[in-house]
């Protein structure tokens, strides 16, 4: 008799943007018609906000699955292969025949790790959710979104909330119909520019209050090497970041999002979760490429201990099975 095996349920499903990145190190960005500039290094890697967050989660030991779309061209095949190699489930990923996959060219400044991104958006179509996606999404505890494929994102967020799961949104700029999505978001993680750009309130605490009035229970704003600011309706935390030898900041925010979700899965306190996410994001800046230096759980904990920011009394890394308290 054949033994029937079933896959364990996913911890998190991500629905969003993915691209194939080519990254090179330069001293400066040349003008048009300037002499040829040599690159100090060149690598290629999968990229995209939700996509990289899922790879970070898989690297930490979480079970992650991706819903998105690529073409059946070489970049699309590379993206799918990178997911599979990282252990991210791709059974609900769409591959569109004849479509061209997004590709990004990233120029990284040698002295600082800052970068300029040039992106070809491709010709693949929007994701349209199917009945099988409902079971796939709601089988997980977390849904991670980045504002792309907005119609599908709104529907998926509604499904997840109705099923009792947690919805996390990576917000990097105002997008059409975002106001329809935000009421379904539990945890809103933004870059430093989004709160003021979306709310027109220049004070960060005031902007966070406005965002929470729209539905989020937690608002987190990343601030690079300075760390992050976290807000709930009861209080706020400024959690300092970490100084590391920076090679490339590509993917640091995406990695932060994955790490923050991991901490929520553990039901860690918010400040501890933010410390963990700051550490993982910092470590990811120490190599060229958005995923090249994504650490394992042991590597993050070792780094935190070396900086005096982790104690033996903290959880050991076993994923919690219950819904996070978000407070």
pLDDT, tens digit (0-9, with 9 covering 90-100), for 242-290: 999 999 999 999 999 999 999 999 999 999 999 999 999 999 999 999 9
Token pair, residue 199, equals 């709310």
Q: What is the mean predicted confidence (pLDDT) over 159-164?
A: 97
Of 134, 113, 124, 171, the residue nearest 20 (C-alpha): 124
**The pLDDT value given to residue 9:** 87
At residue 23, the 3 state secondary structure works out as strand
Answer whether residue 6 is part of any domain.
Answer: no
Answer whether residue 317 is part of any domain.
Answer: no
Average pLDDT, the chain: 93
pTM strictly above 0.85: yes
Bridge partners for 42 per DSSP: 24
Answer whether residue 245 is part of any domain.
Answer: yes
Q: What is the CATH number of the domain that holds 294?
A: 3.40.1190.20
pLDDT, tens digit (0-9, with 9 covering 90-100), for 2-28: 444 456 789 999 999 999 999 999 998
How far apart, in whole angstroms, are the C-alpha atoms of residue 216 and residue 209?
A: 10
Answer whether residue 200 is part of any domain.
Answer: yes
Yes or no: say if 260 and 274 are a contact pair by the CB < 8 Å rule: yes
- Domain range for 91 is 12-18+47-101+126-306
% the chain with pLDDT above 70: 93
Answer whether residue 314 is part of any domain.
Answer: no
């Amino acid at each position: 008799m054949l033994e029937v095996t079933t896959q364990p349920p996913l911890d998190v499903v991500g629905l969003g943007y993915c691209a194939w990145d080519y990254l090179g190190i330069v001293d400066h960005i040349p003008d048009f018609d300037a002499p040829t500039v040599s690159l100090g290094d060149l690598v290629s890697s999968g990229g995209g906000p939700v996509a990289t967050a899922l790879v970070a989660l898989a690297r930490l030991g979480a079970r992650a699955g991706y819903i998105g779309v690529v073409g059946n061209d070489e970049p699309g095949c590379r993206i799918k292969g990178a997911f599979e190699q990282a252990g991210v489930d791709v059974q609900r990923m769409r591959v569109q025949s004849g479509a061209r996959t997004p590709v990004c060219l990233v120029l990284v400044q040698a002295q600082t790790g800052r970068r300029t991104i040039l992106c070809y958006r491709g010709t693949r179509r929007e994701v349209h959710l199917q009945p099988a996606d409902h079971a796939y999404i709601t089988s997980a505890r977390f849904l991670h979104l980045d504002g792309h494929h907005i119609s599908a994102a709104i529907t998926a967020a509604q499904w997840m909330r109705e099923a009792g799961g947690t919805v996390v949104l990576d917000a990097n700029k105002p997008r059409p119909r975002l106001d329809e999505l935000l009421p379904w978001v539990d945890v809103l993680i933004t870059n430093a520019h989004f709160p003021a750009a979306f709310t027109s309130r220049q004070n960060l605490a005031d902007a966070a209050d406005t965002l929470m009035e729209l539905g989020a229970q937690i608002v987190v704003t990343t601030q690079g090497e300075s760390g992050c600011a976290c807000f709930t309706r009861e209080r706020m935390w400024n959690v300092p970041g970490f100084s590391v030898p920076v090679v490339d900041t590509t993917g640091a925010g995406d990695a932060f999002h994955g790490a923050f979700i991991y901490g929520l899965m553990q039901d860690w306190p918010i400040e501890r979760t933010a410390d963990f996410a700051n550490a993982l994001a910092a470590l990811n800046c120490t190599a060229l490429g958005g995923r090249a230096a994504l650490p394992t759980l042991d590597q993050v904990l070792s780094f935190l201990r070396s900086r005096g920011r982790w104690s033996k009394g903290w959880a050991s890394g076993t994923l919690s099975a219950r819904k996070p308290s978000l407070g």
